[in-house]
Amino acid sequence: MSRPTVVLVPCWGSGHFMSALEAGKRLLDSGGGAFSLTVLLMHSPTQIKASEVEGHVRREAASGLDIRFLQLPAVEHPTGCVDPVEFESRYAQLHAPHVKSAIAGLQRVAAVVVDFFLTTLFDAAHELAVPAYVYFPSPAAFLALMLSLPELREDLTRAGFVEETEATVDVPGLPPVPARYTPACLVRAVQSYDWFEYHGRRFMEARGVIVNTSAELEASVLAALPAAAPPVHAIGPVIWFSESEEDKQRPPAHECVRWLDAQPAASVVFICFGSMGFLDAAQVREVAVGLQRSGHRFLWVLRGPPHAGSRFPTDAEQLEELLPEGFMAATAGKGMVWPAWAPQKEILSHAAVGGFVTHCGWNSVLESLWFGVPMLPWPLYGEQHLNAFELVAGVGVAVVALGADRKEKKGSFVEAVELERAVRSLMGGGSSEEGTKAREKAAEMRAACRKAVDEGGSSRAALQRLVREILESPANPMDGTTEY
C-alpha cells in the first residue's frame, strides 16, 4: 500500500508560493517520511510571475525531497474584476473541477492545504471527504480581523472611515485599533471587502488554520480567537538562508555587508520596502533630507518606479537624479544608498544594524524579529497598517508608525521632519525611551522566536500535533482497508 500524501495548493505569486511551499516542506520534514507532498500548480495568469515560479519549481523538484508537482489545466481568466483579491479568488474558483479530479486521481490523500485566498477549493475537498486546512501567511491579528468582518462591515465600508480620528476597530486580543490602521486591502473597494469576508467565513469550515507566527509573538490575539473558529496552528517563524543565499554569504561578501562591516555596532538604520516597494521622486527627496538631518548612519535600499509591464521596481540607475543635489557627498562615509536588490536577511543579521524602517510586510517583520532588530513601521499596502499597529501597540517592538495618517488624501507620504524625528526616536539610544523599549522588546522576541521553533518549543510542538492529526485523520484510515 502506498504512503499517504498531503496535497498543497499554493497561490501562483512568487512570494505567496514560496511561503506556502515552505509550510508544506516543514510538514513533510516533521512527518519524517510518513507521507509525501503533492503540490498542485495553477498556471500563473501573468508571464512575469510564471517565470519566477517555474524557477522555484525546478529548484525544488531537483532538491531530492519527497515532493511531486502536478500542473493543473489552464482556465479562462475571470473578467470585470475590480481588484487583485477578487481576481485571485475567482481565478482559483475556476480551477475547482480540476483540483477535484487531481485529488480524486491520487491514492490516499491525508489532507489538502490551500493558500488563504483559495477557500473556493474547499468544496472539492469536502466532496471527496478529505480534511481541508488553510495556510495563512499573515499574522494571526489579520486572521482575527478577517473572522470579524461580518460584524465590522457597517463601519469598515463606510465612506471616509479610515480618516475618522475617534473611530476604532475591535480586533480581539489587540487594544482598540484606530481607524487609520485599517488594512488598505479592505477599504480599496466594497468588492475587496466582500471577498475578504467570504474567505473569513469559509475559514470556519477548515479543519485547522496554519499560521506563520508563534504563540509567544501573538499570545493575546491567539487566545482571543472565537471559540467556534477552527484550531490555529502557530508553526512559525523559521528563517533560513537558501543555498543560493549561502553562496552569496561566502566571500566576497555583498557590498552592503562589507560596508556594514566597517560601521560601529547597532549604529545603522536600515531602510527597505521589500522586493516590490518603491518611492516616487518627491518622497525620495524627503527621505534623503530626513536621514541626513537625523545624523544617524543609514543603509538605504532605494528602488525607483517599475518599468512599464514589470511588477518590480527598477534599479535606480539615476541615483544622482533622484537624490537632492550634494546628498551623496554630504553623507559619504555615514550613509550608503544601494539601488538594487540587497540581501535583507544578511543585513538584518549584521551587528551594525540598529533599526529597520520597514513597510511591515509580514515576512520582513518576522525576519527583523528573528534578528532582534527594532522597527520603525511605514505601512504601504495589503494588511501592513494593521501589522504596524500590532508591532507598536501589541508587541511593543516598534516606535510609532510613519505615514499612517490617512487624512486629506495624504496617503502614506512622509515629510522629512517626520522621518527625522522618528529615526531619532528609533535610534536615539538612552535619550529615547520609546526606542530603548522597542530595542529591549525586540531582543526578547528574538529569543522567543528561536525558542519557539527549537526542540520542545511551542511552534515545533504545534507542527508535531498537526502532523499527528493529519496522520490520524478519520478520512485516511491507516489500516489500509480504504483507498480512494
Ligand X SMILES: *[C@@H]1O[C@H](CO)[C@@H](O)[C@H](O)[C@H]1NC(C)=O
What single-letter DSSP state applies at residue 13? S
Q: Measured between alpha carbons, how far is 58 from 76 in angstroms, rounded to an integer?
A: 25
Closest of 358, 338, 457, 343 to residue 398, by C-alpha: 358
Interacting residue with ligand X among 363, 387, 412, 458 (CB under 6 A)? 363
Which three-class secondary structure string do you get for 359-407?
CCCHHHHHHHHHCCCCEEECCCCCCHHHHHHHHHHHHCCECCCCCCCCH
Q: Which of 236, 277, 372, 457 binds ligand X (CB under 6 A)?
A: 236
Tell me how far, at minimum, the Cβ of 414 lies from ligand X, in Å: 25
DSSP string computed for 329-367: HHHTTTEEEE-S---HHHHHTSTTEEEEEE---HHHHHH
Question: Catalytic: 126?
Answer: no
Single out the residue of 367, 383, 390, 420 in contact with ligand X (rule: CB under 6 A).
Answer: 367
* Residue 238 contacts ligand X per CB under 6 A: yes
| CA torsion through residues 203, 207, 210, 215, sign | positive
Q: Which three cell numbers stand for residue 46?
A: 501573468
Residue tagged 483507498 (cell numbers) = 483
Shortest distance (Å) from residue 26 CB to ligand X = 5
Q: Which is nearer to ligand X, 239 or 461 (CB)?
A: 239
Q: Determine which residue in the list 22, 115, 216, 383 makes contact with ligand X, applying CB under 6 A.
A: 22
Spot the catalytic one: 95, 98, 115, 233: 115
Q: Is 31 in the site for ligand X (CB under 6 A)?
A: no
> With respect to ligand X, which residue has the nearer C-beta, 136 or 259?
136
Contact positions with ligand X (CB under 6 A) in 267-286: none
Cβ 84 to ligand X, closest distance in Å?
21
- DSSP letter (8 states) at residue 78: P
Question: In the annotation, is 261 catalytic?
Answer: no
* Site for ligand X contains 212 (CB under 6 A): yes
CA distances from 335 to 89, 167, 240, 254, 286 (A): 43, 40, 28, 16, 16
Question: Is position 239 an interface residue for ligand X (rule: CB under 6 A)?
Answer: yes
Instruction: Give 22 or 197: the residue with its C-beta nearer to ligand X.
Output: 22
- 23 belongs to the binding site for ligand X (CB under 6 A): yes
To ligand X, the closest distance from the beta carbon of 180 in angstroms equals 26
End-to-end CA distance of the chain: 12
Active-site residues, by number, are 16, 115
Binding positions for ligand X, rule: CB under 6 A = 19, 22-23, 26, 212, 236-239, 363, 366-367
